[in-house]
Amino acid sequence: MIYKIFRTPEWEQLQQQGETLGAPIDLADGFIHFSAAAQLRETAAKHFAGAQGLWLAAIDETRLGDALKWEVSRGGARFPHLYRALRLGEVVWCRELPLVEGAHVFPDQIP
């Protein structure tokens, strides 16, 4: 699984339109940013610190085909990047990502 953190309007837009090219940063970079499970906490802390109204979507990377590339990014780590729209049907599950006492609380299956 790979993961995408959405703000509420972004998640609602994906549900309504059936696909998305991502958040403004994704549009600017020309691909949709994802994280592996072990990268999620750092991604949330760096890009979503203190943000409420977030959603965590899990995507089965095998459904994304050749448009998914693992590329070197933050700190030399390889991150998954999708070079096409993400379709709602490719989302395995999506859950709220609550902010409790200044920290995001991840589902138990996230290390």
Question: What's the pLDDT score for residue 109?
Answer: 84
Of 111, 110, 5, 3, residue with least CA distance to 49: 5
Question: What's the pLDDT score for residue 111?
Answer: 77
Question: What's the pLDDT score for residue 15?
Answer: 97
Structure-token match 């994304």, residue found = 64
Structure-token match 């970079």, residue found = 29
**DSSP state, residue 30:** T
Q: Where do the domains of the chain lie, and which CATH numbers do they carry?
A: 2-101 (3.20.170.20)
Question: What's the pLDDT score for residue 24?
Answer: 94
Q: What is the pTM of this model?
A: 0.93
Average pLDDT in the 5-31 region?
96
pLDDT tens digits for range 48-104: 999 999 999 999 999 999 999 999 987 888 999 999 999 999 999 999 999 999 999
Structure-token match 């693992």, residue found = 70
